[in-house]
Structure 1
Amino acid sequence: MRVLMVAPSVRVPDTLGQTLHQLALAEGLVAQGVAVTLLCRCGTARSENGVQLEPVPDRGLPGERLLFTRLAAVRVRELLGAGGYDLVHDRGYLFAGAGVREAAQAGVPSVLQIDDNWLRSETTASRLARTWPYLEAARRSCREQVSLATGGFAVSRTLRQQAAHWHPDATGFAAIQNGYESERFVPGTKPLGIRERLGLDGPLAVFVGALGPWHGTDELLALARALPQLAVVIAGGGYGLALPELPNLHHVGRLERADVPRLLAEADLGLAPYPARDYGFSPLKIFEYMGCRLPVVATALPSVREATAGNALLTPPGEMASGVKRLLDSPGLMKRLGAAGHAFALRERTWERTVTRTLELYARFV
């Protein structure tokens, strides 16, 4: 099978979740014998780990999302015109759809990938997105992408239900959770040395991820203030958020990918806070914490319940400190939760399982 994977919003290389997800999926498909061409912002055409990378220009201009989406459509048309592709796999986002649109024109089956609630993410991040003309255009984009696709998948049942409000065809989409790199995120990894570097000798909680408005950054600050005996280490960056100076809050910035499990090796628990608004995520960070046998404290949203399936301590939005304190006061519970999460992640949340389910979806159309 030959698949054209269209993901012009993805930059390679990068450490953002969207890049990690797309590369893991593409490489996993290649390992199963699928020939994958990934159209992304990669600078130059080349082959990496068996995936053929095809570039979309990335000039760093304001409003470039619309530009690289348009350029992606031209390149998809050229590639499909040359023939040989059995399926187009389109990573959707707002005002995108180059893959499903060109596939429909060429008579090639397509699969639409939905990673988050595009409308909710956009209106959270941008005031402009909340204005009527913009919002109407955004809704039209969501409807069109779902309607043009032969089929598709969302990364959670929660997200699939949300997408069905864009267009009823989404009710027939599959729900395929993300996975994690089970060979990289393992217990007993060599520590990074963050405790020694920061002079920490007490309990340590870690958050790994971008400091975007769809993550509950305020909850991390409240946690640090409520539990001064707990060191809260944040590994991630972006979005211009200036964190306050607190003696037990440590922002170490973005880490190299290989250093993330080394940081987790020194932590006592992993944090996954979210605001009360559910974006339908399938959080990579949670599965990576579990892979390293860290007990997880996360916000009790429908998508998080679905992702963790009873193997994390979930707290209502704004109440993470109480859950963390409960774990710190009960070492036995911490150990049991870490072990249960680890077994669950190995069984249900590896990229191998995600790839298997993706291939099952492909088989419906090819």
Structure 2
Amino acid sequence: MRVAYLVADPGIPVFGTKGASVHVQEIVRALRARGDDVTVYATRRGDAVPDDLADVRIVEERVRGTGAQQREHGIRRAVDALVDAIAREGCDLVYERFSLFSAGGADVAERLGVPVVLEVNAPLVDEQRLHRDLVDEEGAVALAGRALRSADVVACVSAPVAEWARANGATNPLVVPNGVNTDRVRPPLVRRADDTTPTVGFVGTLKPWHGVDVLVEAMADIRRRGLHARLLIVGDGPQREELERHARRRGVDAAFTGAVAPQDIPEVLMRLDVGAAPYRAADDYFSPLKAYEYLAAGLPVVGSRVGQLADIVRHGRTGLLVTPGDARALADALQLLLDDPVLCRRMADEARRQAVAAHGWGGVLSRILDAVHPAVTA
């Protein structure tokens, strides 16, 4: 098929370093692996271009204006321009990542009569209202409703997101959790020697709800118990400086890499022995890419029993789950693995098997596209 992939959110560069950008890139890879011809229509291209996606055609329409109100108007104008471009060039399918102030897929469908997949990753209107500035809430709700009602398939990353989508206009949302590229993310060919210092890692944006401060405290607890282990924090965000100070104060052997390009993440994961996902108890609508990447890299996952993590991580088989925000419980789980290399390796092997069997992006995309024809027929 000729697929028009519409990404109207200016906060998500196609070739960026955060999880949303990784998601966009992996859907492009999965479409191309099927033999589809993909053009990405986006408000922000980005410059962290992986080698294997360097030839992907990007039609960019930047959002103009400063301030919340000007930004909202700018997104609408950019979406209109991108819709015009898709209509001129034609396509067989529109795959739209749900964005605030966009019903671009619905507009294309009206003009070309092609099916639309709307991928919903979060309740964006609620997020914007609670955590950022939302000037034209009425307009945002109206456009979200139109996008949700008009799409042939509304693919949601979790059940709570699907409930939100249904409440805002989607007729029969499909729950399809995120995945991982098991060809790109692999365990190391040679395991590290047991006598080297073990490393616990976190990959993600450094924001409060990720609970990295709890992880630092857990590592300090482990140090007090006499176990030497390193902490590797991969990513950037508003909490970075505070977390670096916290680690120094607590005497934790911690390294902070800053933002890392997605194509370099597989190599970074090979440096770890355990992957941490220490989320706090908060909104549970997310589908954490980091957990899938840990599994694919052959890492046992130590995470919070919250949201989708309880389904992704098989407690006692591919990792350990603890109470959100409980640094002592997190330290106990980490120490159990770090003290027992045989158990750690057994969980690592099972984690890799689970990722390959159940979480590849090809399977994620197939479940979405398999629903297109029945939806269009209905």
Select which of 334, 338, 359 maps to 1:324: 334
1:262-304: CA deviations, max 9, x gaps? 2222211001121211342222211111112111011111321
**Corresponding residue for 2:215?**
220
CA spacing shift, 1:67–1:217, aligned 2, 3 Å = farther
Match status 1:76 vs 2:45: no
Deviation at 1:38, TM superposition (A): 1.0
Q: How does 1:248-287 map to 2 (within 5 A)?
A: 248=252, 249-287=254-292
1:299-337: CA deviations, max 9, x gaps? 111321233355331111112223223323433332222
**Corresponding residue for 1:57?**
62
Aligned partners of 1:167, 1:360: CA distance in 2, in Å? 22
CA spacing shift, 1:148–1:168, aligned 2, 3 Å = closer
Deviation at 1:49, TM superposition (A): 5.6
CA spacing shift, 1:124–1:275, aligned 2, 3 Å = farther
Deviation at 1:74, TM superposition (A): 1.6
Match status 1:91 vs 2:97: yes
CA spacing shift, 1:83–1:59, aligned 2, 3 Å = closer
Aligned partners of 1:332, 1:210: CA distance in 2, in Å? 31
Aligned partners of 2:136, 2:342: CA distance in 1, in Å? 51
Match status 1:31 vs 2:27: no
CA spacing shift, 1:106–1:66, aligned 2, 3 Å = farther
**Corresponding residue for 1:289?**
294
Identity of aligned residues (%): 28
Deviation at 1:141, TM superposition (A): 5.0
Q: How does 1:103-252 map to 2 (within 5 A)?
A: 103-104=109-110, 107-119=113-125, 121-122=127-128, 125-126=131-132, 128=133, 139-167=141-169, 169=171, 172-188=172-188, 202-228=197-223, 229-239=228-238, 241-242=240-241, 243=243, 244=245, 245-246=247-248, 247-248=251-252, 249-252=254-257
**Corresponding residue for 1:301?**
306
The answer on whether the counterparts of 2:202 and 2:233 sit within 8 Å (CA) in structure 1 is yes
- The letter for the 2-side match of 1:21 is H
The answer on whether the counterparts of 1:13 and 1:42 sit within 8 Å (CA) in structure 2 is yes
CA spacing shift, 1:139–1:323, aligned 2, 3 Å = farther
Aligned partners of 2:203, 2:347: CA distance in 1, in Å? 19
CA spacing shift, 1:50–1:352, aligned 2, 3 Å = farther
1:200-239: CA deviations, max 9, x gaps? 9532100011112342233223223322233221010023
Q: How does 1:309-320 map to 2 (within 5 A)?
A: 310=315, 311-319=318-326, 320=330
Partner SS for 2:308: helix
- The letter for the 2-side match of 1:209 is G
**Corresponding residue for 1:363?**
373
Deviation at 1:357, TM superposition (A): 1.8
The answer on whether the counterparts of 1:69 and 1:98 sit within 8 Å (CA) in structure 2 is no
CA spacing shift, 1:222–1:137, aligned 2, 3 Å = farther
The answer on whether the counterparts of 1:43 and 1:56 sit within 8 Å (CA) in structure 2 is no
Deviation at 1:108, TM superposition (A): 3.4
Deviation at 1:180, TM superposition (A): 1.5
The answer on whether the counterparts of 1:212 and 1:238 sit within 8 Å (CA) in structure 2 is yes
CA spacing shift, 1:302–1:43, aligned 2, 3 Å = closer
Deviation at 1:101, TM superposition (A): 4.3
**Residue ranges of structure 2 left out of the alignment (5+ in a row):** none
Deviation at 1:98, TM superposition (A): 2.7
Q: Provide the TM-score with structure 2 as the length reference.
A: 0.81
Aligned partners of 2:153, 2:82: CA distance in 1, in Å? 18
Aligned partners of 1:139, 1:223: CA distance in 2, in Å? 41
Deviation at 1:154, TM superposition (A): 0.6
1:135-181: CA deviations, max 9, x gaps? 66655554343223232101123432343333462xx1222222222
Partner SS for 1:180: coil
Deviation at 1:105, TM superposition (A): 5.9
The answer on whether the counterparts of 1:264 and 1:292 sit within 8 Å (CA) in structure 2 is yes
Partner SS for 2:118: strand
Aligned partners of 1:255, 1:190: CA distance in 2, in Å? 23
Corresponding residue pairs, total = 352
Q: Provide the TM-score with structure 1 as the length reference.
A: 0.84
Aligned partners of 2:144, 2:280: CA distance in 1, in Å? 23
The answer on whether the counterparts of 2:291 and 2:309 sit within 8 Å (CA) in structure 1 is no
Deviation at 1:189, TM superposition (A): 5.6
**Residue ranges of structure 1 left out of the alignment (5+ in a row):** 194-199
CA spacing shift, 1:60–1:17, aligned 2, 3 Å = farther
Shifted more, 311-320 versus 338-347: the winner is 311-320
